[in-house]
Amino acid sequence: MATLNVLILVCLAYVVLLFGVAFAADRMAAAGRGAWLRSPLIYTLSLSIYCTAWTFYGAVGNAARSGLEFVTIYLGPTLVMVSWWWGLRKLVRVGRSQRVTSIADLISSRYGKSNTLAICVTILAVLGGTPYIALQLQSITLSFSIFAEADPSGLYREGSSVFWVAAGLAVFAILFGTRNLDANERHHGVVTAIALESVVKLFALLAVGAFVVWGVAGGVGPMMDRIDASEIGQWHVDAGRWTTFIFLSAAAFICLPRMFQVMVVENADEGHLRTAAWAFPLYLLLMSLFVVPIAVVGLDLMPEGSNPDLFVLTVPLSQGNDWLAMLSFIGGFSSATSMVIVTAMALSTMVSNHLVMPIWLSTQEGSGSVSGDVRNVVLMARRVSIAVIMALGFFYYRLSGGGAALASIGLVAFAGISQILPALVGGLFWRGATRTGALVGLTVGFLLWIYTLLLPGMGGTLISDSVLQNGPFAWGWLRPQALFGIEGMDPMVHTVMWSLSLNTVAFCVASLLSFPSPLERLQGAQFVNVFDHSVAPRGWTGSVAQSEDLMIMTQRILGAGPAQDFFQAEVEQQGGRSNLPEPTPAFLERLERELSGSVGAATAHAMIGQIVGGSSVSVEDLLAVADESAQMLEYSSQLEVKSAELSRTARQLREANTKLTQISEQKDSFLSQVSHELRTPMTSIRAFSEIMRDTDGLSAEEQTRYAAIIHDEALRLTRLLDDLLDLSVLESGQVSLNVGGDTLRSVLDRAVSSALAGTGQTLTVRRSKASERIPLQTDLDRLGQVFINLISNAQKYCDAEEPELTISAHDVGGQVVIDFADNGSGIPPEARSMVFEKFARVGVDKAGGAGLGLAICREIMQRLGGEITYLPGQGGAAFRVRLPLAYRQAAQ
């Protein structure tokens, strides 16, 4: 007979085996071997942590009490898996694209990375998980007690054994679940271990079932007869419970933190869902295949009043089949441990990411970026929270008295966790779902669940009997188990119906009434349309981010090695040669996802936000929210804008380059021109002065002629130097203006006469003197200089046979506009932009001046507050002079 000591030894050996498997799987995954670790089969088997000790022991108990009703708990998940195309596919895609670490993280992420919401879901998950943990404790304790009854030593005491089971499971879960920090990374070890446990529990249950059917009852036919003849042989369907439980188990299957962990977080390939869609229901079917036979045989064989929850153990024991009983015990034990490992992992991740880290971060605020070793803080938080969760389960077990049927405890947990469903489904399929809606819905459902199910379930310790009977303050319509006076409902059906329906109503109404934040709308679009764009476009503006601070923070979270590798890879990707990558938005986004794998989306967002100085929900992001296709449109339009900008810049550069080249050429030609201009008069001056010095007997007439030549050449030199001086004075702005008043007409008169004086008068000047009677208040001499220049230019360059210059003047609202147009061939277009430049001369061959005239004109006009421009399209060369009627200092 198996003694307690042997039992404990077997348990320990089993745990050691699990550790060995996990360790080996981790090693294989790290070495890159073992593709089967990521196979659909392992994925499917890991999903079967859905089958806990409740399934293993409780299903039989449930069947012994209410017939086929136990099967509802497996039909719900079957329907969910079969409809994977509708829901799970999206859930998994969202989870993978957002690097979600837990269901709280998913909800928080969807509703604008709200940590409040994450805290709510975490608390709900912890409280909802508590009865579930208690259930595992109870089942293990019960199974121990069965063996203890037979143990002659009699050392077994129930109270202390529960404690030791709880403590043992806590240590186990801590050792198993908190080895790696990154909750988002695939835990190959854990997943493989729980896959093994799935096989063990299935094998154990099938073995007991086969033993019962063929060993005890003697085949399928006799078994069926025995079933019909038993006390549960006539099955009455409770329609309410049937539908409610199918729905409830389907909801819980999606919302349970541990299911989310294996289904979404640990998912390696979306395609695995397709296999799991049939393989997991098959597993469930096999698990429940022998439940009724075991229950019926147990009811037959076992004495009146024995606990049907333990038939799986007691039936083989009563038949003297100790080894089968031991196998069955291992099966139950592995159901409990796998559930506890994954639940502890999932819940502790949620607690540390959403409760501990935000608090810890807020205490760290102000002391630089992030100080201290975050890594240790996170790990410690996870370990402590596992211990706390186990302690909660322990206390629930003690408070509920440990007497309840396993199935009813499990259903309490299911009803609690299902309150997440409206927010989850709404978030995945309805863009209009808001944070407020989710918060209100969750709160309503959660409170109703506590009030109508959890508190009454815990007996008279937390809620008095009078409240149960008559409602609080004797308000009958608020009785916990008969809300609004509707009596006679099954308590479970009552709770599920009211809490989920009111939860959904509150969620919808609050969502409709509230307005989401930009980030929320962005995330909403990301989630609902995840198949359209799986890449999240939320941007960080990294201009102010300090790469070094980011590096320090990342090291503290990921550990020095992984962080350095990550940054180094980033540097290489950016092609930089420095030690740290540039904080580009893309890099910050990747970093945030990397960190969110360790500390959750909300915390990672907050931490990077602390260093970078705020996320940018920019106008572009809002555009993306406004329209699903806006993202692509916007991106391409951005590209278009950028390319237009680039081509504009390139054109400007080309123009500038051409101009610079021209200027440089002109400068060169001007320098040679100037040297030439200076040299020619200088040569004549020198030559003639040498003649006058060296030649004797020059006639007076010759002397005068030579002296006149020298004089003329000297004048030419002076004029050239005057021009240069004039221009430099004008350009430097040191010119002093001599403002006086006169009419335009007299200024033009003077200019025309002085420009044409001493020349052959070949140029005909056409004026309409009537329109020139405009009074001016400006520097008349300088203005005259401009006019003279323009007129003499026309005289010099007009190539018509009968050169003509038309001068017309207009008064245009406070400004006078004077056009000078000749009838020549004009200035070629390519030279137009250059005519006002210094040293510019159209056609080097037509040497006349030094090319400073128009440059001086432009400078003068600027000084006078006007402008001079070339006027194209007038037949010949035309210039427009524009200046204010009255010179004002401000015009400068």
Partner 1 sequence: MSTGEDRPPSGVRPSLFLERQSYRRRRLSDAARLLPFFGAALLAIPLLWPDASGAQEGVPLSSAIFYIFACWAGLILASLVFGFAARRMAKHDDSEPETDRWPR
Contact residue for partner 1 among 116, 180, 243, 610 (CB under 8 A): 243
* 811 near partner 1, rule: CB under 8 A: no
Nearer to partner 1, 144 or 280 (CB): 280
Q: Which pairs with CB-CB distance under 8 Å and at least 24 residues apart come from 841-850? A: 841/666, 841/673, 842/797, 844/669, 844/673, 846/796, 846/797, 847/673, 848/796, 848/797, 849/723, 849/796, 850/670, 850/673, 850/674, 850/677, 850/720, 850/723, 850/724
Among 158, 228, 640, 722, contact with partner 1 (rule: CB under 8 A)? 228
What is the H or E stretch that residue 482 is in?
A: strand 482-483
For residues 298 and 231, the answer to whether their CB atoms sit within 8 Å is no
Give the whole-angstrom CA distance, residue 705 versus residue 702: 5
d(CA 540, CA 546): 13
Least CB distance to partner 1 at residue 90 (A): 11
Residues 6 or more apart whose CB falls under 8 angstroms from that of 280 comprise: 44, 47, 48, 77, 78, 81
Q: How far is the CB of 637 from partner 1 (least distance, A)?
A: 25
Decide whether 421 or 588 has the Cβ nearer to partner 1: 421
Helices (H), 488-559: 491-513, 518-528, 547-558
For the record, the structure tokens of 642 come out as 């950028």
Pick 85 or 477: Cβ nearer partner 1: 85
Q: How far is the CB of 274 from partner 1 (least distance, A)?
A: 5
3-state secondary structure of 886: strand
Out of 254, 292, 528, 748, the residue judged to bind partner 1 by CB under 8 A: 292
Does residue number 462 form part of the binding site for partner 1 (CB under 8 A)? no
Asked if 36 touches partner 1 (CB under 8 A), the answer is no
H or E, element range at 820: strand 815-822
CB nearer to partner 1: pick between 292 and 606: 292
Separation between Cα atoms, residue 142 and residue 306, nearest integer Å: 12
Q: Among residues 270 and 582, whose Cβ is nearest to partner 1?
A: 270
Give the binding range for partner 1 (CB under 8 A) out of 102-110, 277-285, 723-731, 737-745.
277-285
C-alpha neighbours within 13 Å on the C-beta side of residue 403:
5
Based on the shown chain and the rule CB under 8 A, indicate whether residue 83 belongs to the binding site for partner 1.
Answer: yes
Tokens standing for 462?
């937390």
The number of beta carbons lying within 10 Å of the beta carbon of residue 266 is 25
Residue 682 near partner 1 by CB under 8 A: no
Is 239 or 770 the residue whose CB approaches partner 1 more closely? 239
Residue 227 is a binding residue for partner 1 (CB under 8 A): yes
Q: Where are the beta strands (DSSP E) in 67-200?
A: none
Instruction: Report CA 7 to chain centroid distance, whole Å.
Output: 51
The interface region with partner 1, picked from 222-230, 386-394, 624-632, 771-779 by CB under 8 A, is 222-230
Report how many residues bind partner 1 under the rule CB under 8 A.
Answer: 40
592, 608 in Cβ contact below 8 A? yes
Q: Which of 68, 502, 586, 691 binds partner 1 (CB under 8 A)?
A: 68
By CB under 8 A, name the one of 20, 233, 460, 848 that touches partner 1: 233
300 scored as a contact of partner 1 (CB under 8 A): no
Q: Assess 218 for contact with partner 1 (CB under 8 A).
A: no
Indicate the residue among 78 and 793 with the shorter CB distance to partner 1.
Answer: 78
Out of 18, 37, 45, 71, name the contact with partner 1 by CB under 8 A.
Answer: 71
**Residue 179 Cβ vs partner 1, minimum distance, rounded to whole Å:** 32
Eight-class DSSP state of 514: S
220 burial level (CB within 10 Å; 0-12, 13-18, 19+): exposed
Shortest reach from residue 601's CB to partner 1, in Å: 24
Q: What is the nearest approach in angstroms of partner 1 to the Cβ of residue 487? A: 15
Contact letters for partner 1, residues 516-555 (x by CB under 8 A): ---------------x------------------------
Q: Kindly tell me which residue out of 167, 224, 536, 774 binds partner 1, with binding defined by CB under 8 A.
A: 224
Using the rule CB under 8 A, is 89 a contact of partner 1?
A: yes
Q: Which single residue is written with the structure tokens 């086969």? A: 210
**Minimum distance of partner 1 from residue 245's CB (angstroms):** 11
Q: Judged by CB under 8 A, does residue 85 bind partner 1?
A: yes
CB of 262 to partner 1, least distance (A): 19
Q: How far apart are CB 227 and partner 1 at their closest, in Å?
A: 5
Q: Tell me the C-alpha distance between 878 and 354, whole Å.
A: 78
The answer to the question of residue 246 lying near partner 1 (CB under 8 A) is yes
247 to 276: interface string for partner 1, x by CB under 8 A = -----------------------xx--xx-
82 binding partner 1? (CB under 8 A): yes
Interface residue with partner 1 among 61, 177, 281, 298 (CB under 8 A) is 281
Could you say whether residue 77 binds partner 1 (CB under 8 A)?
A: no
Q: Least distance from C-beta 460 to partner 1, angstroms?
A: 29
Instruction: Tell me whether residue 272 or residue 605 sits nearer to partner 1 (CB atom).
Output: 272
Q: Does 79 bind partner 1 (CB under 8 A)?
A: yes
- 376: how many CB neighbours lie within 10 A of its CB? 11
Calculate Rg over the CA atoms of the chain: 47
Q: Are 420 and 252 in contact (CB under 8 A)?
A: no
CA distance 546 to 568: 16
Q: How far apart are CA 70 and CA 133, in angstroms?
A: 20
Query: Which residue blocks in 617-761 are alpha helix, DSSP H?
Result: 619-626, 630-694, 700-732, 744-756
| Contact by Cβ (8 Å): 441, 423 | yes
CB 493 → partner 1: shortest distance, Å?
A: 13
Residues that bind partner 1 (CB under 8 A): 67-68, 71, 75, 78-79, 81-83, 85-86, 89, 224-225, 227-228, 230, 232-239, 242-243, 246, 270-271, 274-275, 277-278, 281-282, 285, 289, 292, 531
